Amino acid sequence: MGKAEILSTIRETFFYGATDYTKNQPDLFVPHKFKMLAPSQVDDFMNNLNEGLTEKEILIYIHLPFCFSECSFCNSFPYRANHEVQKKYLASLLKELDIFTGYGVFKGKKAKGIYFGGGTPTSFSNGDLDRILTKISSVISLSSGCSITSEAHPLTLSDPERIVQMRDIGINRLSIGCQTFDKDLLKLCNRRNTKSQIAKIVNSAHDVGLSINIDMMTGLPGQSLGSVDRDLEILSKIKPDTVEYIRHEIVNPKVVKLYKENPHLMVDKDTLFEMVYRTQEWMTAHGYQQNGSFVDSRQWAYRYHWLHEMPIIAFGSRTRSYTKFTCYDKHEDISTYSSFLDKGILPIGRFISLSKKDQMYRSTLLRLQLKKGIDKKWFQEKFSLNPSDVFGSLFSKLTDLGCLEEENGAIRLTKHGAYFVEDVCDCIIDTALKEESESLVRSPHSEGTTSSMFD
Ligand code: SF4
């Protein structure tokens, strides 16, 4: 198939658009398999987890779910920033790290990457972030070159001295949400960040040797192709180290209301397709790697290792951890989270024991987001099965669409398959769900909490 035919096939028959799209990358999410975990079962659960965790290196995620205001594109549903509440939450988080350590899970392991996400982690002071990092370093060794990222709201980084201090406490990568530079769109999204603010932050980060990522979005309410082009022009001048472009996932009640009242603001499917295509062409031309095109760990080590299935152990309320055999979630509500910890119990609320088929789906979903794709020999050794035998019809479908190819013993995304990696991930999840029951439908990762904590 030629380029035009591939693109038209993807657009006409495969592209999930805005309304059918769920942000399902990077990881497999099959929520119907969750089982509740009673507090009395936590000890056994942790002992099993420990036994199955044979990897020497792990990733640590720290969730800091507080923000100063709520953006209408948000799918994280943070709490409103509040000094006293955050103080209590921080104490609970440090206690969680201690209790977890008591189960011996960190013994003999190293942290390859640490990621502060949220929310706005920088709604906490640098001193607070330092306390968390100091605690982590006291319970687990850090691998050499451990990548330590903090997400940050641009408004919290206006003082360059804050960035210097973040570097001094060990953070070596910043990730700021920007989504667009278009003032009118930002207003609709309840957000303020200017081009000059972002440029200043990128320069300040570079001045002190920090790597910096900018998160961007397509499909924002009222967004046009012209606006996307202007964003790309600005990014070309600002030159962050990495850019992640994702599609707006319509889950926040604020944006749902906005679209109900102003349906014309929703970007139509063909325009959204062109936005995704253009932004991905730009990413490739500028050497930026993201899901679907990761070649190495230089740009985003944490995600790169995640896609190689390095276990993720997450701390904080409403976090999801993944190991080879298990996926488990903490309690969502911060008071419930803290009350468990006050009683000395890990606040694990539910878990999935991944079946062999789930594990194969997960490996496939994750590895296809790497440029090199799935090494068939590696898959065969791991599961004693040929991936083409297990996923024959899924692979044929994606190949017929021009999204997948097989070469030199590897199954991987084509250039255009990588551009539309979000659709590939949704397709894999749909296939996994339909295999179990026709009635199962995709859920957003924010499944559980999909209402604002600000109201
Ligand atoms: S998108 Fe907005 S509301 Fe959501 S976590 Fe980021 S800064 Fe907070």
The answer, yes or no, to whether any atom of ligand 1 lies below 6 A from the CB of 76, is yes
Q: How confident is the model at residue 447, as a pLDDT?
A: 61
pLDDT for residue 172 is more than 60: yes
Q: Considering the domain 30-307 in this protein, what is its CATH number?
A: 3.80.30.20
Q: How confident is the model at residue 444, as a pLDDT?
A: 79
Q: Do domains 1-29+372-435 and 30-307 have the same CATH topology?
A: no
- Alpha carbon of 74 to ligand 1 centroid (Å): 5
Q: Residue whose CA is closest, atom 2 of ligand 1?
A: 71
| 3-state SS track over the chain | CCHHHHHHHHHHHCCCCCCCCCCCCCCCCCHHHCEECCHHHHHHHHHHHHHHCCCCEEEEEEEECEECCCCCCCCCCCEECCHHHHHHHHHHHHHHHHHHHHCCCCCCCEEEEEEEEECCHHHCCHHHHHHHHHHHHHHCEEEEEEEEEEEECHHHHCCHHHHHHHHHHCCCEEEEEEECCCHHHHHHCCCCCCHHHHHHHHHHHHHCCCEEEEEEEECCCCCCHHHHHHHHHHHHHHCCCEEEEEECCCCCHHHHHHHHHCHHHCCCHHHHHHHHHHHHHHHHHCCCCCCCCECCCCCCHHHHHHHCCCCEEEECCCCEEECCCEEEEECCCHHHHHHHHHCCCCCEEEEEECCHHHHHHHHHHHHCCECCCEEHHHHHHHHCCCHHHHCHHHHHHHHHCCCEEEECCEEEECHHHHHCHHHHHHHHHHHHHHHHCCCCCCCCCCCCCCCCCCC
The answer, yes or no, to whether any atom of ligand 1 lies below 6 A from the CB of 153, is yes
Q: Residue whose CA is closest, atom 4 of ligand 1?
A: 74
- Alpha carbon of 46 to ligand 1 centroid (Å): 32
For the segment 317-322, the average pLDDT, to the nearest whole number, is 96
Whole-number Cα distances in Å, 287 to 236, 240, 366: 11, 11, 21
Residue ranges of the domains in the chain?
Answer: 1-29+372-435, 30-307
Q: Residue whose CA is closest, atom 1 of ligand 1?
A: 74
What pTM was estimated for this model as a whole? 0.96
The answer, yes or no, to whether any atom of ligand 1 lies below 6 A from the CB of 74, is yes
- Alpha carbon of 75 to ligand 1 centroid (Å): 8
pLDDT for residue 121 is more than 80: yes
- Alpha carbon of 120 to ligand 1 centroid (Å): 7
275/281 Cα distance (integer angstroms): 10
- Alpha carbon of 188 to ligand 1 centroid (Å): 14
- Alpha carbon of 395 to ligand 1 centroid (Å): 36
pLDDT for residue 453 is more than 80: no
Q: How confident is the model at residue 452, as a pLDDT?
A: 66
The answer, yes or no, to whether any atom of ligand 1 lies below 6 A from the CB of 119, is yes
Q: How confident is the model at residue 340, as a pLDDT?
A: 98
Mutation test residue for ligand 1: of 23, 120, 198, 220, the one with most atoms within 8 Å of CB: 120
The top-level CATH class assigned to 1-29+372-435 is mainly alpha
The whole-chain average pLDDT of the chain stands at 95
The answer, yes or no, to whether any atom of ligand 1 lies below 6 A from the CB of 220, is no
The answer, yes or no, to whether any atom of ligand 1 lies below 6 A from the CB of 65, is no
335-354 confidence digits (pLDDT tens): 999 999 999 999 999 999 99
251-274 confidence digits (pLDDT tens): 999 999 999 999 999 999 999 999
Q: How confident is the model at residue 8, as a pLDDT?
A: 94
Q: Residue whose CA is closest, atom 3 of ligand 1?
A: 70
- Alpha carbon of 331 to ligand 1 centroid (Å): 20
- Alpha carbon of 73 to ligand 1 centroid (Å): 8
- Alpha carbon of 448 to ligand 1 centroid (Å): 18
Q: Residue whose CA is closest, atom 5 of ligand 1?
A: 119
pLDDT for residue 449 is more than 60: no
- Alpha carbon of 76 to ligand 1 centroid (Å): 7
- Band the pLDDT of 441: cuts 50, 70, 90: confident
Q: How confident is the model at residue 375, as a pLDDT?
A: 98
The answer, yes or no, to whether any atom of ligand 1 lies below 6 A from the CB of 78, is yes
The answer, yes or no, to whether any atom of ligand 1 lies below 6 A from the CB of 118, is yes
Atom of ligand 1 nearest to the CA of 118: 5
The answer, yes or no, to whether any atom of ligand 1 lies below 6 A from the CB of 151, is no
pLDDT for residue 409 is more than 90: yes
